[in-house]
Amino acid sequence: MLDVVKKPDYARVQRVVRGLHSEFDVTAPPVNPVEIARSKGFKVLFVEFSGEANNISGFYDFDEQTIYVNRDEYPLRQTFTVAHELGHALLHVEWASSDQYRILLRDSEYGGNDPYEKEANAFAAHLLVPRFLLDQYWQSNSVESLSRLFAVSVPMIKNRLSFEYGV
Ligand SMILES: [Zn+2]
């Protein structure tokens, strides 16, 4: 039975992300989620999503331990997708054994209120734009140059700056 009242556990998300940064010795941007996912034993495949599926950014197949990424999307979006799906892969194994995930996991957008989606989004944000790296760069760089440095979108940088420093 799926725990429908589950709330996002951001402390756990942060712990898992910190573990990865230390395991992969992340000391400078950009963080490469494809490398991390593959090193953790997951497959990452960039594929064509045809027809109705073309508005889907990606999804994670727990049985195949494979992250599928829509190859027609912008590279920055793909980076986010891989990080987001890696979050599901590492955080939501239990969810996978429920019968709800197959529907929910086909991500068409990431703005939902679902606690699993919120956790995967937080995972991606903290993995790709770690506080300890932001600390080194944010005051001396424009939002655009931070976006290039960290290889994430400008809105993602703005969210991270707002979250960490309230700016
Ligand atoms: Zn998702």
61-119 pLDDT, tens digit each: 888 999 999 999 999 999 999 999 999 999 988 876 676 655 444 555 555 678 888 99
Q: How many CB atoms lie within 10 A of CB 27?
A: 9
104-161 pLDDT, tens digit each: 445 555 556 788 889 999 999 999 999 999 999 999 999 999 999 999 999 999 999 9
Rounded distance from Cα 146 to ligand 1 centre (Å): 25
Q: Domain ranges for the chain, please list them.
A: 10-129
Contact status, residue 95 vs residue 116, Cβ threshold 8 Å: yes
CA distances from 46 to 26, 59, 66, 156 (A): 24, 11, 11, 22
Rounded distance from Cα 161 to ligand 1 centre (Å): 23
List the CATH code of the domain at 10-129: 1.10.10.2910
Rounded distance from Cα 80 to ligand 1 centre (Å): 11
* Count of helices and strands (H, E) across the chain: 9, 3
Rounded distance from Cα 141 to ligand 1 centre (Å): 30
Rounded distance from Cα 38 to ligand 1 centre (Å): 18
Whole-prediction pTM: 0.90
Pull the structure tokens for residue 96: 């996978």
CA distances from 118 to 13, 38, 48, 91, 113 (A): 10, 23, 26, 12, 7
Rounded distance from Cα 110 to ligand 1 centre (Å): 6
